[in-house]
Amino acid sequence: MPALRSTPARAALTGVLAALVLAGPGLVPSAGAGPRTAGVYVSPSGRDAADGTAGHPVRTLTRARDLARDKAAHYRSARYSGDITVHLASGTYRTTGPLVLDARDSGPAGHRIVWQGAGADSTLISGGRKVEGWRPVAGRPGLWSAPAPQGLGDTRQLYVDGVRARRARGEVPVGLTMTATGYTASADTLARWRRPADAEFVYTSGEALWNVERNGLGQWTEPRCRIASATGTAITMAQPCWDNSTKRVEFPDRPGRTVSMVGPGRLTNGGRASYVENAYELLDQPGEWYFDRSAHTVYYLPRTGEDLSRADVEAAAAEKLVDGRGTKAAPLHDIAFQGLQFGYATWLTPSGPEGFSEIQAGYTLTGPKGWATQGLCGFVDGGTCPFASWTKMPGNVSFAYGRRIGISDSVFAHLGAAGLDLGAGTKDSTVRGNVFTDISGNGLEIGGVDGQPAASGVEVTNNHLYALPREYHGGVGILDGYTQHTTIAHNQLDHLGYSAISLGWGGWPDKIGSPATPNPSHDNAVRDNLVFDYMQLLDDGGGVYTQGLTGTSMADGEKVTGNVIHDQWGLGKSVYTDNGCTYETVQGNVLYGAAYANVASRHTDYRDALGNNDPTLIAGNWWEEGAADSSNKGLVTSGNHLMAGLSDVPPEVVANAGIEPAYRGVLARTAGAVSVPEAPARVGTSTAGSDGLYVTFNPSFVDGGSPVTGYTARALRPDGTEAARASVDAADFKRLAVVRVGGLAAGEGPFRVVVTARNAYGESAPSLASAPLAPRAASVVAGAPTGAKVRVGARAVTVVWTPPAGAGDAEVIGYRITVSDGRVVPVGGRDVLVTRPSGKGMFRVVGFLEPSTSYTFTVAAVTAAGTGAGVSVTATTSAA
């Protein structure tokens, strides 16, 4: 049949017919019809063959996306008005892969496409698979098993009624000697395990104190690598994780200084692992699980009260829930997600040969020869650019090149990577009124450091981030890379394993006298946030931590203002200005309860040869540090207020920090059932005399939805039986950082100690045990502290000192400050324990003083042997 010749009339008719076909049923306006709203309706009980109307909802998110995409494409011809709303009814939307969005899924004609849930407590986008068919395991009392769900190849997370189960873990059962490819074991125990190649060694860092080891790749890290094989006593570790964790290239003329300039070149402490995880043989505590991939079987030890015949058991399967794939040429724009929960997603890279060779804040070295080249631009041949462009942890919900993306009134929980990633090229987007909790890594990520366009105009406000990270403990609450005009304001961040808010990158070259790496960051603000109970596991971080250049001048540099930051466990700073941090303003904050400093550190500005400091303004803060006004080569300290307590701070300043009244409902929003707390970690002991041990540990920062009320330490004999126990209230432990276990009989040790946490719902599983230690009498008191000085205020002073060089024959557990007015001020806390072995200084505020009055302060260390010699310093308070 010959082709029809086109005519203007036929062309017009063809265009109309094409529009009718593309529009689909119900999308062509009738003659004279006015503008109308566009909606797509989705329900877990819907059918994808339906048309997506209110009475005929579709079932899957991808089908809903396609219908919304079609409406957007015909927005004008169909005479729609307002936003296109995708209505998600209550229920669970299970996905095996991500909802992929691109420029076609953008809002049309200045409007948005809104993915609207029925509420974050009732509308769940889930990457999980139900695990059903549980039966007791013969010969293993208390252990249950179930067939893995169809299609589940691997997972790192299991949840029972919304409560995260713990991968089976325990002490490494053999001695290990590090080799080029792994270890030589003292026995063939691991080789006889069911599947040794499933197991991972975990290297928890943090500061060393007493008999607590510092493993890992810096006090802020917790790398992990999988075993590749175990044959006899030869343990071969997976590559490239092993090389990336043990061969980091060092400067030939600077022994011990890695070219990355972040942490050591190899796993510390002889490569000792803190514990081993993910093996059938390690299943020994309620709440632990293991997935035998070869047998396609899931094993679980139920907690008290759990009934697996009724419980909702979910294995996280999908690695991505939403994947917004804008590009520089075709960004994804004008799209919003509201009233939803995102949950039950995993991240499998750490289970593979890459492992988790951590650098900082969830960034890792990856790829063969990553240790020799990745991010080492300008310092080694073949180094990739830009400097420090390591691999960022992915988000289970992520957007790249998104513009005007809105995330609100939603919950990010039960996730195995980072929660939300607003990546390269994100612009003018908001994250408001959400909850981030029970996330394996970083809560929220903004921008990157890999040379891609900086994120800009992102506002993060009125969110609650807590009880994270659950697995990669070097993660942070909010990670902000190279960004511009970012505002992080009125959020609450609490109960965190490491730093709360981490910004910037690339400042490390100042460690070798070189300027920080140029970057595009400027005009970022961190203001009016409430941060507390942070750095509960790792050290060397901060409430607000910043690295590298923050702008081009004090005018457009980073502003940290109006925040209330308190109660830090790990050794660090309230506001941490780290390497190369330039043009930062720290003003009007309330900073107390820090474990080392309120604002620090000072760094030389190497952009020229003048010897100045990185320009920084520290002004008008309420703090305990008490430093006097000064102008020190670019570092200006001015008008700060010494505080002895919150009563010294204007109430309106404290009240303004944190979540604003209209959004405080997020503080009552929970994810999952309440449960017992997570176990404490990093238990250490020191002698408390001939019949006792002092015990310290890192407290539980995951409380199970009910505050931790106390802890119990149990001393175990070599045969594992309990010799004695002692309990302590959570508030007392927070103040003292030690508990004494007495009544230990001579000759029954050495003793190992385990610690449990308790809340209103019961007692946690026990921690991993401390190293063995036998009590012994202590008779030699500590030497005198040194370097005592006083920073004065009118009615309070800050007493500063350096711990004694010698602690006698026991460890320092406290100090006594004797004041010449007759008072004795006891000093306790975790900083007391860790500053002496780490060589850091101490400070405490002494209040209730009279203006213009001379006082003498004598500081002495306390050990099991008693109170040592004191160091005295005299000062006169300032006028009122």
Residue 3 pLDDT:
34
Widest distance between CA atoms in the chain: 112
Please report the pLDDT score of residue 25 as a whole number.
34
Q: Output the pLDDT for position 34.
A: 61
Mean per-residue pLDDT, 362-381: 96
Q: How far apart are CA 416 and CA 413, in angstroms?
A: 9
State the Cα–Cα distance between residues 758 and 741, nearest whole angstrom: 18
The predicted model scores a pTM of 0.95
Answer for the pair 129, 97: CB distance below 8 angstroms, yes or no.
Answer: no
pLDDT at 602: 86
pLDDT higher than threshold 80 for residue 29? no
Q: How confident is the model at residue 307, as a pLDDT?
A: 96
Q: Binning pLDDT at 50, 70 and 90, where does residue 356 land? A: very high
37 pLDDT band, cuts 50/70/90, is confident
Position 36 scores a pLDDT of 81
The DSSP secondary-structure symbol of 392 reads P
What is the tens place of the pLDDT at every residue in 423-451?
A: 999 999 999 999 999 999 999 999 999 99
106-138: pLDDT as tens digits = 999 999 999 999 999 999 999 999 999 999 999
The confidence score (pLDDT) of residue 670 equals 85
**For residues 707-719, average pLDDT:** 98
Whole-number mean pLDDT of the chain?
Answer: 94
* Alpha-carbon torsion (257, 260, 263, 266), positive or negative: negative
Q: Using alpha carbons only, how large is the chain's radius of gyration in Å? A: 29
Whether residue 445 contacts residue 418, with contact meaning beta carbons closer than 8 Å, is answered with yes
d(CA 220, CA 358): 9
Span 716-734, average pLDDT: 98
Can you give the pLDDT at residue 838?
A: 86
| Domains contained in the chain, CATH given | 34-119 (no CATH), 129-313 (no CATH), 318-347+393-668 (2.160.20), 681-763 (2.60.40.10), 786-876 (2.60.40.10)
- Mean pLDDT, residues 853-862: 98
Mean pLDDT of 9-14: 32
In whole angstroms, what is the distance from residue 792 CA to residue 849 CA? Answer: 10
Mind listing the pLDDT tens digit for each residue in 560-618?
999 999 999 999 999 999 999 999 999 999 999 999 999 998 899 999 888 999 999 99
pLDDT at 189: 98
> Any long-range contacts for 800-806 (C-beta under 8 Å, 24+ apart)?
800/841, 800/842, 800/843, 801/841, 801/842, 801/843, 801/859, 801/871, 802/841, 802/842, 803/835, 803/836, 803/840, 803/841, 803/842, 803/861, 804/836, 804/861, 804/868, 806/782
Give the pLDDT mean for 703-730: 98
pLDDT above 70 as % of the chain: 96
Please report, for residues 146, 290, 738, the alpha-carbon distance to residue 136 in angstroms, rounded to integers and kept in the order given: 9, 15, 40
pLDDT at 8 over 90: no
Q: Which residue has the tokens 């009475």?
A: 55
Q: Is pLDDT of 5 > 60?
A: no
Range of lowest pLDDT (7-16, 238-247, 599-608, 786-795): 7-16
pLDDT, position 672: 79
Cα distance between residue 165 and residue 169, in whole Å: 12
In 498-634, which ranges are continuous DSSP H helix?
none
